[in-house]
Structure 1
Amino acid sequence: MKKMKFFIVIAALVLSTGAFAHQPTKSSPIDALKSQLVEILNENYFLVRNQDLTARVLFTLDEESKIQLLEVQTKRHDLKRFIVNSLRGKKIQMETVCTDENFVVDIRMTKP
């Protein structure tokens, strides 16, 4: 009988530890925003030849959840033009629109 109680206590501990360890994480609005930006940029084609390309993008969202670019920093003019043409005016799906916030995203384009 003692062994059975011991196994029940051990089983309860294992199950309760597993239940608390695997709580689903809530995705933040910023994570959703990042994934949508990746989708938008992946819809368009930009050829990366020799090395990875980077850019820093500063933007805000208007009342209609459309991207309003404020600045694109990169050494490559063609990459800047690609990002501006791909993101400018694109609508983002967000639960709450943060019109008073500026967002900064670092973008890295890699060879396929």
Structure 2
Amino acid sequence: MRKLSYVIVAAMLLSTSAIFANTPELPEPTRGLSEQITELLSDNSFSEGECDSTAQVRFTLNEEGQIVVLSVETASENLERFVKNRLNYKKVKISNVVEGKLYTVPVRVTS
């Protein structure tokens, strides 16, 4: 009988601690990183022959929340220069900046 009372008390403690252990909902960031990059690259003046070009952009964020472009893998030199000029050292608003974390973003230029 004594063991049964210990089990009941333990179950009550676990159930009450589970109720209070709920994590609060974090506010959603206003805009994601990819949306900000899309906005930075939105105004372009590529010719019809250069439209539908693609690139893989590898970058990191520094401690100030700025994009540091590491590489742009593409066949078009114009697209590579465009991406580097538009993104390199541009400040983005992101809540959890992890300095040195590598990001890879596919980029496609359309008309």
TM-score, length of structure 1 as denominator length = 0.68
> CA shift at 1:60, angstroms?
0.2
Which has the larger share of helix? 1
In our comparison, the structure showing a higher alpha carbon Rg is 2
> CA shift at 1:68, angstroms?
0.6
Partner in structure 1 of residue 69 of structure 2: 69
C-alpha RMSD over aligned residues:
2.0
Partner in structure 2 of residue 59 of structure 1: 59
Aligned length: 84
- CA 1:65–1:86: 2 relative to 1, 3 Å: same
* Displaced runs of 4 or more, over 6 A: none
Where structure 2 has 5 or more consecutive residues not aligned to the other structure, the ranges are 1-26
Aligned-pair identity in percent equals 33
Where structure 1 has 5 or more consecutive residues not aligned to the other structure, the ranges are 1-25
CA distance in structure 2 between the aligned counterparts of 1:28 and 1:93, rounded to whole angstroms: 9
TM-score, length of structure 2 as denominator length = 0.68
CA distance in structure 2 between the aligned counterparts of 1:33 and 1:104, rounded to whole angstroms: 11
CA distance in structure 1 between the aligned counterparts of 2:72 and 2:54, rounded to whole angstroms: 10
What residue identity is the alignment partner of 1:59? Answer: F
